[in-house]
């Protein structure tokens, strides 16, 4: 049953891992209702339940299961589209939708670094949304960053605002779900860790600078900091852990760092957006925390957890960050982007 009080939305790449997470998270959304599903030519024309290899914990919602899948082409009965497409195909498809007048909320990397495309984490850089004013197509494209970048920038933003950041070193321990489905071979990852994720370190190092940068006119001046990332895949299902060390631009006490995190709030919380975590950051005094199995679902998977703040003998301070990679770092982050866009008046019926 279509609810005429909700905004109709489509999902392209609907059969993949990110597309499935979009479906799961949007099922009971107070603003949005799924009215279209797009996938590859081999899935088009089939009922979703026959096209998708569903592997979420909850069963496929009945209404979604019986929807017919369309091709990923303009003509879907909506004006706002969430893209869970693989980067190998996302670029031209998302551009075609934008040219046809759709608002595209993308999880893919293809358009993230374009000057007029927001690389958006609403808790961190909500003002960057206005970059879309410089897009010339009938529609718009908004992107969210790589899943490992998201947790990092939420943790860094309060420190940047309060003290300035000079250098960052981050070592990630990233969950298997970040590799999509079927993901990493069991023979590779059981009793093992893999110290390489293709392109991940480069994405963290450049995306962070754009997100933490200052919007000047119709582009972003990248943040003036140096970041080094080392990325590893570990045998955890969900939840990216990061060991972070920072050198700040001013000398501060540990209590000041803690206060910056604990007091932090931003535009999504002020606007009371449905997917905005309250609070956006949890800090744990217990040195054993945060842990993926215990804390990844805080704030319905949208909060970022931090713990183990301590002195660093190389830089100033070091700490541990945890975020839910498929919720906060992918589909949930994109939904929060869409909420901010709607609230700021960029969506019209």
CA distance 27 to 327: 14
Asked about 240 being catalytic, the answer comes back as: yes
Asked about 147 being catalytic, the answer comes back as: yes
Burial zone of 77 (CB within 10 Å; 0-12 exposed, 13-18 middle, 19+ buried): exposed
Closest C-alpha among 216, 250, 244 to residue 154: 244
Which residue in the list 72, 111, 128, 240 is annotated as catalytic? 240
CA distance 119 to 34: 24
Contacts 24+ apart (CB under 8 A), 198-203: 200/146, 200/148, 200/172, 200/174, 200/229, 200/231, 201/229, 201/230, 201/231, 203/109, 203/145, 203/146, 203/148, 203/149
The CA–CA distances, whole Å, from 117 to 97, 139, 274, 300 equal: 15, 12, 24, 27
Residue with tokens 């006119």: 217
Task: Tell me how crowded residue 48 is: count the other CB atoms within 10 A of its CB.
Answer: 23
CA distance 202 to 207: 8
CA distance 141 to 81: 10
Q: Which ranges constitute the DSSP H helices of 146-212?
A: 147-163, 186-189, 200-211
Which residue in the list 147, 231, 295, 324 is annotated as catalytic? 147
Q: Catalogue the active-site residues.
A: 147, 240
């Amino acid at each position: 049953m279509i609810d005429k009080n909700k905004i109709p939305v489509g999902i392209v790449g609907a059969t993949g891992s990110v597309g499935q997470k979009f479906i799961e998270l949007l099922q009971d959304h107070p603003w949005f209702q799924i009215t279209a599903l797009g996938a590859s030519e081999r899935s088009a024309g089939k009922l979703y339940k026959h096209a998708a290899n569903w592997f979420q914990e909850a069963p496929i919602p009945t209404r979604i299961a019986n929807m017919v899948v369309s091709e990923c082409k303009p003509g879907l009965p909506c004006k706002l589209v969430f893209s869970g497409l693989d980067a190998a195909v996302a670029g031209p498809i998302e551009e075609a939708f934008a040219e046809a007048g759709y608002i595209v909320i993308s999880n893919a990397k293809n358009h993230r670094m374009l000057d007029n495309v927001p690389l958006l984490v609403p808790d961190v850089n909500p003002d960057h949304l206005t970059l879309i004013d410089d897009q010339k197509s009938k529609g718009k494209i908004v992107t969210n960053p790589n899943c490992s970048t998201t947790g990092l920038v939420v943790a860094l933003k309060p420190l940047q605002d309060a003290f300035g950041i000079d250098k960052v070193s981050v070592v990630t321990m990233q969950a298997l779900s970040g590799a999509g489905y079927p993901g990493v071979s069991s023979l590779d990852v059981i009793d093992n860790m893999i110290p390489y994720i293709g392109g991940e370190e480069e994405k963290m190092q450049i995306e962070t600078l754009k997100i933490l940068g200052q919007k000047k006119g119709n582009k972003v001046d990248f943040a003036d900091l140096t970041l080094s990332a080392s990325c590893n895949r570990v045998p955890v299902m969900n939840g990216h852990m990061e060991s972070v060390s920072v050198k700040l631009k001013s000398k501060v006490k540990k209590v000041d760092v803690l206060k910056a995190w604990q007091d932090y709030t931003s535009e999504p919380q002020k606007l009371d957006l449905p997917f905005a975590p309250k609070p956006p950051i949890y800090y744990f005094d217990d040195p054993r925390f945060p842990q993926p199995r215990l804390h990844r679902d805080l704030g319905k998977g949208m909060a970022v957890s931090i713990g183990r703040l301590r002195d660093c003998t190389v830089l100033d301070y070091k700490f541990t960050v945890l975020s839910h990679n498929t919720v906060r770092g992918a589909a949930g982050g994109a939904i929060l982007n869409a909420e901010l866009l709607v609230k700021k008046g960029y969506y019209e019926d």
